Structure 1
């Protein structure tokens, strides 16, 4: 990188709006060698299977399509080439656990934010994901449980950020996200766009927005590399526990939860319940059913998808 600083422009309005409204910031992370094509290709090769998603989505304006696949035995360069041909994006989750350089970069980012934003504390945990996507790729309307930022490295995106309130997002939606781990199942209506803040970003820009705000993303006809950053603190973690427990009560036991308290007896009872059940067979079965792997990339024909047999 050409400078020791992550952010190149930050004023008082950014400090006041951080985590309260969608904001666009200027950064230098795109200049780091960890985002070179060579380094990204090496990262892809041997990436832990449980930590990546290869997704095919439908064309913009067309029918919704969401299929998950496998990169097969392609090299990192071949995967990037296949993605660049269209219709695909690769999400490498928890990248700092595979290559610590990405985590150190984000540590520096949060150190700068803490120095600039009143009452913001270093997160108790953060997780980075690298997104590599085709010129025509999109990410459907969805929301995330933790705090979120989107860092653009290469290419251009258009991001629609919606209010984090009903009807755009409800407590029941958040329960489903926490339980089933599939954010893109949120219901979406075209008129929602009338209430979205629309921001275009390119290399050297990043976005932050308010907690749980739904959003969707369209690539602007350019091959794209970006990094998403998820972060938690005590309040966020407690909220995740309650949403997961309430989702279990609703879907597993047929009980409509009445409390969303983050403290007190009901919270502690739910914390114990979700800890006992979250790694159980029922949760795993429900999540796997919503994320089947049904194609792989074809090494012989770049960009071609090979359908896999459906699981019995």
Structure 2
């Protein structure tokens, strides 16, 4: 069961909205089930990352691999290391988790009064004390805490905190989701602690960072689109192409208007012509998960 506040519809997409849920009571998230999930999930699709300590500037996460480890071994490495696993679209890859995703996304659809599209429920399994750097997501996101505790800091989706050119680069897939961070930003941040049974959703492209507590964390990262969110995402893509290909200085896509709808249609035309020449390559793996190594990570030669 997922419960949203009665007044949430008016604030959806504009403010941070808290939910309550009972997903953490499911046996699908005990150690044995998580190990089995890691065995069932396509290993070549598994996102394995580690992060440097929290600091100013822009720090990219470091990608890893674990092709020959069992799910039980990989879970043990997460418990004892500094590792962040992202099982994107678990609802599509492992059938047992699809009903939970349906429950989550249907609750968002009912709460918002908007059709929920592109439903991607990822399971995040991460080490004690991991800090996920300052970043943003192009889709809308709802985060549900299942095990452990973490704190999320949310920042306004404005030029100061998320420069338009950076957001466009993420939409164009020229770069990963990270953004330059300054400690001064925290004066405008909303700090949100998450414990099992709690969930939260926030405005599209609002920057945020995450700090795990001193324990294993399991969360559901539920990415989705509504029609307004899809229009704004495509308008951002079009802005990026206009800036790069024609030297334009387009206005940011804050809301749905005649202008953003026109740009969303323009994005479709850009995509038919082809991707931009400078699209980012796939990030290579630079470490392997190794139970015997410090922080359970070993550099690849």
Which range, TM-score by smaller chain?
0.7 to 0.9
- Aligned pairs, how many? 294
Is contact 1:74–1:299 with CA below 8 Å preserved after alignment? no
Shift of residue 282 of structure 1?
Answer: 4.8
Is contact 1:241–1:274 with CA below 8 Å preserved after alignment? no
Shift of residue 67 of structure 1?
Answer: 1.0
Match of 2:271 in 1: 274
Quote the Cα distance in structure 2 between the aligned partners of 1:101 and 1:195: 40
Where do 1:198-209 residues align within 5 Å? 198-209=191-202
Match of 2:215 in 1: 222
Structure 2 unmatched ranges of 5 or more: 254-258
Match of 2:256 in 1: none
Which of 39, 43, 49 is residue 45 of structure 1 equivalent to?
A: 39
Where do 1:119-268 residues align within 5 Å? 120-180=113-173, 182-251=175-244, 253=245, 255-258=247-250, 261-264=259-262, 267-268=264-265
SS, match of residue 149 in structure 1: strand
Is contact 2:131–2:211 with CA below 8 Å preserved after alignment? yes
Shift of residue 108 of structure 1?
Answer: 2.0
Q: Return the TM-score normalized by structure 1.
A: 0.84
Structure 1 unmatched ranges of 5 or more: none
Shift of residue 300 of structure 1?
Answer: 5.4
RMSD over aligned Cα atoms = 2.6
Quote the Cα distance in structure 1 between the aligned partners of 2:292 and 2:82: 18
Which of 41, 50, 55 is residue 56 of structure 1 equivalent to?
A: 50
Quote the Cα distance in structure 2 between the aligned partners of 1:62 and 1:214: 14
Quote the Cα distance in structure 1 between the aligned partners of 2:107 and 2:296: 43
Shift of residue 239 of structure 1?
Answer: 2.4
SS, match of residue 152 in structure 2: strand
Relative to structure 1, is the Cα distance of residues 243 and 116 closer, same or farther in structure 2, using a 3 angstrom cutoff? closer
Segment drifting more, 54-63 vs 101-110: 54-63
SS, match of residue 185 in structure 1: coil
Match of 1:19 in 2: 13
Alignment deviations for residues 189-245 of structure 1 (CA, whole Å, 9 cap, x no partner): 101111011011111111111121111000011110001011112222232223234
Quote the Cα distance in structure 1 between the aligned partners of 2:179 and 2:55: 17
Is contact 1:78–1:302 with CA below 8 Å preserved after alignment? no
Segment drifting more, 209-218 vs 43-52: 43-52
